[in-house]
A and B are shown apart, each in its own frame.
Chain A
């Protein structure tokens, strides 16, 4: 398991941020927007400056003082090797998806994520010669969907859908600079509205707005040299903004395809997942299950939101992004299937604490509404994912055991 996937190119980013608070574009952004693999393929032929041994010098010194040099060097070398494997895998004319899944399960390097995610989602095709034309076509297609949807005045929009989106867009990641900007908000509005009218069975459901944000931040990061959350999107050239928006739309669509049941009338997908989660907890942590039952705490009271927003309200976006590396590697149904094992592992994590809370149904629910994950990094998420993996391996094909109860 890879620990703390902090990338080596972090230093220059910090420097850029200090110079220009609103952020700067990468010099090859224009090339990358046409071919997301441009940077990767070019750098795989030349020595990668990001991996030169001079960069982490400061870090090495700091850590040397703490007497942990060997561990740091080992981790750096593991990361370096993993990165090479990624580059190797992605540089092939026909990407081996099974190999890519295996690699991505343990976490994707930050700078490779903008190409790894779309490949795992099947949005970017595996054969290298199809990538550029496919992307161009899909982005064109999205643009015409937008033009069609917004062709006439606002009165002609589906008022109910538009109204809800208008209310929710300004309160998506409130307080984060990126999401408070006009340009970003208009983009988000278009993504959500076009998706909603193309999926009338569910339409826009509150919480779907949250699910766009990891995609947007990851795709934006491909073109800029600073922290996406601080970036001023009005600086983006129109073709790049259009590309980010279209890529978000198609990737969101693919993600939601796997969990449509969560958002249609009566939300049966969520009810099913919460019920299965409760059954699972009764098997893997009976004392906790019995405790919740005796305190009259219902799973629905806390786990509904865990399913509806894929835990995004309980953990940070950075945590979510790391989690989605694994979900996307797991495959299409991870957001409905694997997720319930993650939620179960998440609940069990607080078992001791929860079992000490007597006569506190309200306290228990309030704790689970905002569990203390503020300090969580990749390490905690990776632990959670591996616990979920174990649960999933044992129980996923053992439905009759669960149902027998």
Chain B
């Protein structure tokens, strides 16, 4: 069995945001339906995949989970290339992680493709009594910066699937409309470089061994 033949689209999505906001748990909740209260820190970049259905098409999401610490920025930013989506995660109970969202947006502008679809994710929504970032504040920020926005809890699983589903659907709509507009291979927008696994991201998959 080959990766090339079991899905219609392959989208590379990166998970970014401050250390400890729950990026790895969002990933494990989405891909394995697992949550660890104290999961180990992510070193460099780690990744996992899951396929979902959008409009009858099978979309394979290849999600790159990055380390939040500043020191890893050099290695993690190398993996923004080829990404068609980014989940920018903060912790609703930690104001500083929301304040840093601006810096993460700049990171993306500097290193990722300009057409990347970005979703702002306020994680740990289960910590209601500790909320430090009002939903409204985040909604306003997202509107100003033209990002979609959702609050999630990797712990109680609320909105996690929905977050991934939404961003993957958004990407799919953009990609498939481009396919209609321009016919054929001009779809491979953000992936003209040599970053490996991303090469065919956003392009309709061909059979692996043609």
Residues of A within 8 A of B (CB): 160, 164, 167-168, 170-172, 174-175, 202-203, 205-207, 209, 263, 265-267, 295-298, 300-301, 304-305, 308-309, 313, 358-363, 365-366, 369
Contact = CB atoms under 8 A, between A and B. Distances in A.
Contacts of B74: 265-267
B196 A359 contact: no
Contact of A167 (B4, B19, B75, B78): B19
Contacts of B62: 362
Given A263-B71, A267-B74, A207 B43 contact: yes
A205 B67 CA distance: 11
Interface stretch (B33-41, B121-129, B144-152): B33-41
B196 A296 contact: yes
Contact of A359 (B4, B37, B40, B71): B4
Contacts of A301: 45, 196
A299 to B, nearest CB: 11
Interface stretch (B46-54, B102-110, B112-120, B130-138): B46-54
A265 B71 contact: yes
Given A206-B19, A360-B2, A363-B3, A313 B71 contact: no
B17 interface: no
Contacts of B199: 296
A305 B40 contact: no
14 contacts: A160-B70, A167-B19, A168-B41, A174-B36, A174-B37, A205-B71, A206-B67, A267-B75, A296-B197, A300-B75, A359-B3, A360-B2, A362-B47, A369-B46
B41 A361 contact: no
B43 A171 contact: no
A175 B197 contact: no
Nearest to B2: A359
A136 B208 CA distance: 65
Nearest to B79: A301
A352 B74 CA distance: 33
